[in-house]
Amino acid sequence: MNVMLTRPALQVEKLQDMVVKSGNNPLFFPTLKLHPIDIKLEKNHYDVIIFISANAVEYGLKILKNISYQQVLAVGSATAKKLSENNIIINDFPKNKASSEALLELDSVTQLNDKTILIFRGKGGRETLKQGLIKQGNQVEYVEVYERVCCDISHLHCQSLDKFLLSREGVISITSIDNMKSLIKIVNQINHIDKLKNYLLVVLSERIKIYVNSIEFDKVLVTPNTSNNGIISVLMNLNTLDKPVKYS
Q: Which amino acid is at 38?
A: D
Q: Which amino acid is at 96?
A: N
Of 98, 132, 148, which closes a domain? Answer: 148
Other C-beta atoms closer than 10 Å to the C-beta of 217 total 23
Non-local (6+) Cβ contacts of 77 within 8 A are 93, 94, 95, 98, 227
Q: How confident is the model at residue 241 (pLDDT cuts 50, 70, 90)?
A: low
Which whole number is the average pLDDT over 41-53?
A: 94
Of 121, 148, 175, which closes a domain? Answer: 148
Note the pLDDT of residue 247: 52
Non-local (6+) Cβ contacts of 247 within 8 A are 200, 218, 219, 220, 221
Task: Give pTM, 2 decimals.
Answer: 0.80
Do 75 and 134 reside in the same domain of the chain?
Answer: yes
| Residue at 168 is within a domain | yes
Identify the weakest region by mean pLDDT among 66-75, 208-217, 224-233. Answer: 224-233
Which whole number is the average pLDDT over 150-169?
A: 95
Q: Total domain count for the chain?
A: 2
Where residue 217 sits, what CATH number does that domain have?
A: 3.40.50.10090
Of 148, 173, 191, which closes a domain? Answer: 148
- Structural domain harbouring 198: 2-31+151-240
Do 168 and 207 reside in the same domain of the chain?
Answer: yes
Tell me the average pLDDT of the chain: 92
Q: How confident is the model at residue 243 (pLDDT cuts 50, 70, 90)?
A: very low
Run of H or E including 103: helix 100-105
| Residue at 99 is within a domain | yes
Identify the weakest region by mean pLDDT among 90-99, 148-157, 175-184. Answer: 90-99
Which whole number is the average pLDDT over 224-243?
A: 82
| Residue at 135 is within a domain | yes
Note the pLDDT of residue 126: 83
